[in-house]
Copies of this chain bind each other. A is one copy, B any other.
Amino acid sequence: MIEVNIIGTGNVAWHLAKAFASENQIIIMQISGRNPEVLKSFSKFAQETVSLDQLSPAQVNIIAVGDDSIPAVIEALPFSDALVVHTSGFTKLDVYSKEYKSTKRNRLGVFYPLQSFSKEDQDIHFSEIPILIEAQDLKDLKTLRILAEGISTQVKSISSEQRRSLHLAAVFANNFTNHLFTIAQDLCRDSDVPFSYLHALIMKTAAKAILHNPSKIQTGPAIRGDSHVLTTQEHKLSNPEHKEIYRTITKALKTYYGKKL
């Protein structure tokens, strides 16, 4: 049985609370957030919802807030000598311990679920989501592993540096990719073609990247060196940002595959 607190009421907090609440071996003692209205919507998951200064230490205290706010929240915790973890892919363990000036010291760790969380998405299956953990103390790492394995089958211990690389890779694989889908959708709309015509291609693109090495299955006019198609397509794009992305990735593809030949 592991008792946890959650500090924060954003998307990560919501999906973690939901996943923990559905596990018998995990009990959410308190959830804390600044906005009383939002906090109320979390009450079904926890024994109690409280303001930060009313928080009692649990076995694991999870800070699920934006990167910028992590140090301030740690400073403001009304207890010491407890295990306190953040959920960020970017923020390092040592970076925030350096900034940790308070005399009320807690033991620090990381509990990073690698997924893009949005409120719209009620269909999150935590079992498939990798949870990357880190802690200053070996005993704490063990506690985090037990907690993470309560909701996921993909629990790994990695360093802050590795986590930061993985987070950057996720920016390419998720944030940037999603914007390319948005551009594709805009191009379809501008020509009165349903975006749904691209659905099978989009799913196949993701499935193939997982099944094969994506660099081995690259196709398209850039790596074929089809300059007529490239020139015509670039010309066809009227939005200057779309044009610049087209130009930049085309150039990168030529360099990447040119070097390999």
Contacts and interface: CB of A to CB of B under 8 A. Distances in A.
Contacts of A207: 203, 206
A175 B1 CA distance: 48
Contact of A182 (B154, B170, B215, B244): B215
A47 to B, nearest CB: 30
A177 B179 contact: no
Given A68-B228, A248-B245, A116 B174 contact: no
Nearest to A173: B184
A175 B216 contact: no
Interface string A210-245: 101111111111101010110011001100011011
Nearest to A188: B169
A156 B246 CA distance: 27
A172 B193 contact: no
Given A173-B205, A177-B177, A226 B68 contact: yes
Interface in A59-79: 66-68
A200 B129 contact: yes
Given A215-B185, A218-B182, A168 B236 contact: yes
A205 to B, nearest CB: 5
A162 interface: yes
A146 B102 CA distance: 74
B226 A67 contact: yes
Most B CB contacts (10 A, CB to CB) among A67, A161, A241 go to: A241
A255 interface: yes
A38 interface: no
A153 B233 CA distance: 29
A234 to B, nearest CB: 10
Contacts of A208: 116, 118, 121, 178
Given A175-B220, A197-B132, A241-B252, A90 B229 contact: yes
Given A114-B200, A156-B197, A170-B201, 20 more contacts: A66-B224, A66-B226, A68-B228, A90-B233, A115-B201, A117-B219, A118-B217, A120-B216, A130-B200, A165-B191, A165-B193, A166-B188, A169-B184, A172-B180, A174-B219, A181-B209, A182-B214, A202-B210, A241-B252, A245-B252
Interface of A: 66-68, 90, 114-118, 120-121, 128-130, 132, 154, 156, 158, 161-162, 164-166, 168-188, 190-193, 197-210, 212-222, 224, 226, 228-229, 232-233, 236-237, 241-242, 244-246, 248-249, 251-253, 255-256
